Every structure is written in structure tokens, then in C-alpha cells.
């Protein structure tokens, strides 16, 4: 499937290489990576291709009131339900913990686990849901928990960024076009240590800017 909106085109999924046997997906539990999991799994199903998907999720131990791995697992269950007999193309997720209060950076934790998964399962590459940010007039002084910095230490051959040239309004458009309200309701963007969206962090503001709503609660 080729995705088009507002003068931008993402044709990665229809051009996904047929020779790839194992691919990782960095599954944060947010809307971007959830859509990637859905689109890639459906493309593989439609082709009856032998590719297997290995989700990878890291959660922050310093967030005592939030269990982000449960969000990632809910996203996986939702996509698997739509795949029916092809649900087994999505393998058991690799879930690891990190603690942002310690001297070791989040980036180091993630890179170590990405490299581990790439070696253990001989992954061809790892897909990430990195997108363009909001226009500057919507952006707070600090984005805070930036995902783009995590790309710096691994080789370019490791990463594929299908949404690297589009923003979250592009993502929101395709959730609507594909009637993926249920999948969207499973995702979570807020990084605050509370069960309801804080509506103040950069990620909450970006989601509202694109979707006109914050994370679903409950």
C-alpha cells in the first residue's frame, strides 16, 4: 500500500523487500510505531510472505504509575486479532527495562537491546516510527525525551524509518482512512508518570495537534 497525504507519499510498505526473513520493530506503544506494525503485518499477510516481525519495547522503571509494556502488548494483541490465521508472523516481544534516574542513558539501554536482538535473531534491520515534529509554533522549549538521539550510535544499515519525512498529521490521516480507531485507542504518547494524559508534555501536545485528542484512558 502506498500512503499519500498533503503532498507527501510513503511507499515503503508496498516496496518492502520480499527477501527479508526477520525484521525488528521498535514498538514504543505510541501511534507511529503501532501503525507501522499494522501496515507491515498486513502487507506480509496480503503477500503470504514468510517474513517474521520481532517487536522490541523498553520501559522506564522511574515511571512508577505507568506500565508501558502493557500498552505495547495491547497494540500487539489488537494487530494480531486483525491478522487472524497470520497472527504468528508477530513473534513474542522483547521487553527490557531502563531507569532514566541512573547515569546510564536511555539511549545506551536501547542501543544495547537493539544490538542484542539483531544478533540473536539475525534481524535484517529494525524499523522505527520516527516522524517529523510539529511546526515550531506548536513546540515547547524542550521536546524532552527525544527519540531521534537514539539513532546516533548504530549504523545506518540497522535502521529503517518509513515515516521519517512525514509528521503526525500524516499518521492521523491514515488512522482515519483505515478505520483504525480501536488500534489508536490502545496507543499511549504521554511520558508523565500518571495514568491519565498530562496534556502538557511535548508528546501530548503533538498527539492533540495531529489527532484532536489525547491518549484514551482506561
**Section 137-159 average pLDDT:** 50
- pLDDT digit string (tens) for 162-187? 999 999 999 999 999 999 999 999 99
pLDDT of residue 185: 96
**What is the average pLDDT value for the chain, to the nearest integer?**
88
pLDDT confidence bin for 137, thresholds 50/70/90: low
- Sorted by sequence, the CB contacts under 8 Å of residue 17 that are 6+ apart come out as 124
Q: How many residues can be counted in the chain? A: 218
Top-level CATH class of 3-211? alpha beta
Q: Which residues have a Cβ under 8 Å from the Cβ of 95 and sit 6 or more positions away?
A: 57, 58, 59, 69, 72
Burial class from Cβ neighbours inside 10 Å (0-12, 13-18, 19+) for residue 81 reads exposed
Is the pLDDT confidence value at 155 over 60? no
Q: Where are the domains of the chain?
A: 3-211
- The predicted-structure confidence for 67-123, as pLDDT tens digits, reads as follows 899 999 999 999 999 999 999 999 999 999 988 888 888 888 888 999 999 999 999
* pTM as predicted: 0.90
Amino acid at each position: 500500500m502506498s500512503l499519500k497525504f498533503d503532498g507527501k507519499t510513503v511507499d515503503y510498505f508496498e516496496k518492502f523487500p520480499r527477501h527479508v526473513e526477520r525484521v525488528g520493530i521498535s514498538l514504543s506503544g505510541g501511534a507511529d510505531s503501532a501503525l507501522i506494525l499494522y501496515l507491515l503485518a498486513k502487507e506480509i499477510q496480503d503477500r503470504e510472505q514468510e517474513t517474521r516481525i520481532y517487536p522490541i519495547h523498553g520501559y522506564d522503571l522511574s515511571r512508577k504509575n505507568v506500565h508501558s509494556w502493557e500498552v505495547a502488548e495491547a497494540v500487539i494483541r489488537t494487530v494480531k486479532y486483525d491478522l487472524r490465521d497470520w497472527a504468528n508472523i508477530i513473534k513474542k516481544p522483547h521487553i527490557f527495562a531502563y531507569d532514566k534516574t541512573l547515569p546510564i542513558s536511555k539511549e545506551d539501554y536501547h542501543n544495547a537491546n537493539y544490538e542484542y536482538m539483531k544478533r540473536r535473531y539475525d534481524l535484517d534491520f529494525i524499523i522505527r516510527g520516527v516522524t517529523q515534529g510539529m511546526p515550531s509554533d506548536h513546540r515547547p522549549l524542550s521536546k524532552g525525551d527525544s527519540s531521534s538521539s537514539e539513532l546516533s550510535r548504530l549504523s545506518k544499515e540497522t535502521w529503517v524509518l518509513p515515516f521519517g519525512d512525514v509528521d503526525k498529521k500524516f499518521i492521523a490521516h491514515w488512522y482515519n482512512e483505515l478505520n483504525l480507531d480501536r488500534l489508536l485507542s490502545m496507543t499511549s504518547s504521554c511520558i508523565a508518570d500518571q495514568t491519565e494524559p498530562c496534556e502538557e508534555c511535548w508528546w501530548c501536545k503533538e498527539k492533540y495537534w495531529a489527532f484532536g485528542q489525547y491518549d484514551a484512558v482506561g
